[in-house]
Amino acid sequence: MAVAVGKENYVLHKLHSLSGIVPVGYYVVQHLVLNSFTLGGPEKFNAVIGFFESMPKFFLLIMEVCAIWIPLIFHAVYGIFIVSRAKPNYFGSVYGWSQNLMYTLQRWSGIFLFFFLMIHVTTTTGAKYVSGSAKVIEYAAWHEKLSSAPYIWLVLYILGVAAASYHLAYGVWNFSIRWGITISEKAQNQVQKFAFGMFVAITLIGWGALAGFLIPQKGTSGEGQSQVRLESAPSSRFIAA
């Protein structure tokens, strides 16, 4: 599983590995954790959206560009470059080691994520800025999108969450080797086990967030329910009569 990288690409290769953990990896985890607020209902999830939207617009945009978009674009584009020069040797060879399979799946998951994230960002953050409204990323919009037949969006996001979780988890394993953190075979095996647990945990958090958009809700707000009760109640004038 060699990658032909010359000396001139050494720094970029290191930065690519680092950016996959910080800030991209960190953002993926906190993004899925905050999305899991859907399990608390529409109000909880929309409160998260409201928190970020309450920030000054210029500050939020600068934070998104510098802390998310630039590192993510660099990691994605340079990752495609690495994949184009990679030589996986798991399928069709005698080297059927689990590490080789992990390497191959991480590259495939990266390619899938490249296209998935273009769709995701365009239909969420991009749509928000174009429309000038955060309603396109609030609970109601997500509920309608994910619960509508033939459930293409739901399947896409189920796969997207799993791919992102796998890519990040085994990226930690790869990062530990590349940066000399795990040198011995024993240490690498321990991180490999940790990566599997991390993959399962992050995937469940992401799938839990998706499930929260599908759970039937009694109402979106107490105010709306109160108004229905008031409108359906008999007028005091008729009661007095």
Tell me the per-residue pLDDT of 202-239, one tens digit each, with 9 for 90 and over: 999 999 999 999 987 665 443 333 333 333 334 333 33
> Is the per-residue pLDDT at 165 higher than 90?
yes
Identify whether 226 is part of a domain. Answer: no
Residue in 173, 161, 239, 230 with CA at minimum distance from that of residue 202: 161
Identify whether 84 is part of a domain. Answer: yes
At 6, is the pLDDT very low, low, confident or very high (cuts 50, 70, 90)?
A: very low
Identify whether 196 is part of a domain. Answer: yes
Identify whether 241 is part of a domain. Answer: no
Task: Output the pLDDT for position 98.
Answer: 78
Identify whether 235 is part of a domain. Answer: no
Name the percent of the chain lying above pLDDT 90. Answer: 71
Q: How high is the mean pLDDT of the chain?
A: 86
> Is the per-residue pLDDT at 94 higher than 60?
no
Q: Kindly report which listed range (104-108, 133-137, 180-184, 208-212) carries the lowest average pLDDT score.
A: 104-108
Residues 131-160, mean pLDDT to the nearest whole number? 96
At 95, is the pLDDT very low, low, confident or very high (cuts 50, 70, 90)?
A: low
| Total domain count, the chain | 1
Task: Output the pLDDT for position 196.
Answer: 96
Residues 59-71, mean pLDDT to the nearest whole number? 95
Identify whether 229 is part of a domain. Answer: no
**Residues 17-21: contacts with CB under 8 Å, at least 24 apart:** 17/171, 17/174, 17/175, 17/178, 17/179, 18/175, 18/179, 19/71, 19/74, 19/75, 20/75, 20/168, 20/171, 20/175, 21/171, 21/172, 21/175
Q: Kindly report which listed range (41-50, 118-127, 216-225) carries the lowest average pLDDT score.
A: 216-225
Name the percent of the chain lying above pLDDT 70. Answer: 83
Identify whether 239 is part of a domain. Answer: no
Residues 196-202, mean pLDDT to the nearest whole number? 97
Domain that holds residue 135: 2-215
Tell me the per-residue pLDDT of 130-145, one tens digit each, with 9 for 90 and over: 999 999 999 999 999 9
CATH of the domain at 196: 1.20.1300.10
Q: Kindly report which listed range (50-54, 79-83, 223-227) carries the lowest average pLDDT score.
A: 223-227
Residues 144-149, mean pLDDT to the nearest whole number? 95
| Dist. CA 143–CA 208, nearest whole Å | 14
Token representation of residue 114: 């490249």
DSSP 132: T
Residues 158-171, mean pLDDT to the nearest whole number? 97
Identify whether 224 is part of a domain. Answer: no
DSSP 115: H
